[in-house]
Amino acid sequence: MQRVGRGLRDNKGFLLFVGLMCVFRSAVADWNTVPTGSMLPTIVPGDRILVDRLAYDLRLPFTHVSLARLEDPARGDIVVFDSKAADKRLVKRVVGVPGDSVAMNNNRLTINGMALDYGELDGTVSASAAATVAGAESPSYVDKRESLLGAAHAIRLMQRSSGLANFGPVSIPAGYYLALGDNRDKSADSRVIGLVPRDEILGRANRVLLSLDYEDYYLPRADRFMRSLQP
């Protein structure tokens, strides 16, 4: 016990730093690894995203207990949440907020009776699709611009839509949000796990801190360092 006590005294500065860092990550700002492509083309696998934990609530550190509500998630926000339904932490984009009626037909959203606008992006065909030998086969997916009632962002659609391309209309009650992945045909989101309770939402992702290329020996992607996730 004396050795333990002496070790704690000798390293109290380091232990204090670790403790404060844990509190900071729990209550102020955090970073999360994104291992899948459900948010392509906005977030790519290997991105480490910065999460603003004070975007919506001031929470008791290490808990989901809200001490003060600061703001509510808005359409277009990329949120990080601990999903009880999926039993893991997820990153998705808020599409519907409390009071909205949302429907999807062939991957095109309608919110409160208003059909969203969809347009082309520069370089619509993906790099991997462009590498396909000309004339050998069609690109497997296409990137589009979705205007989410004032919040424009990119989405990815398969040339052959999946079974997730249609739903609704869904009326969103108070305290819940409808969240979708930008990679619409390859995302287990509210179409699979249901609406997201507000108290599961941890914060808003605004930027990529750094990115590692899993398919190239985990080398860093310098062009993605500190990249904004806002359109």
Active site (catalytic) residues: 38, 92
CA–CA distances in Å: residue 24 to residues 14, 15, 58: 15, 14, 12
The tokens 């309770």 sit on which residue? 197
Distance, in Å, from the CA atom of 75 to the CA atom of 229, rounded to the nearest integer, reads: 14
Distance, in Å, from the CA atom of 79 to the CA atom of 13, rounded to the nearest integer, reads: 34
Distance, in Å, from the CA atom of 166 to the CA atom of 225, rounded to the nearest integer, reads: 35
Q: Residue 76 phi/psi, 5° resolution?
A: 95, -15
Distance, in Å, from the CA atom of 129 to the CA atom of 49, rounded to the nearest integer, reads: 26
Residue 223's SS3 state is helix
For residue 175, how many other CB atoms are within 10 A of its CB? Answer: 11
Q: Which long-range contacts (CB under 8 A, 24 or more apart) does 134-140 make?
A: none
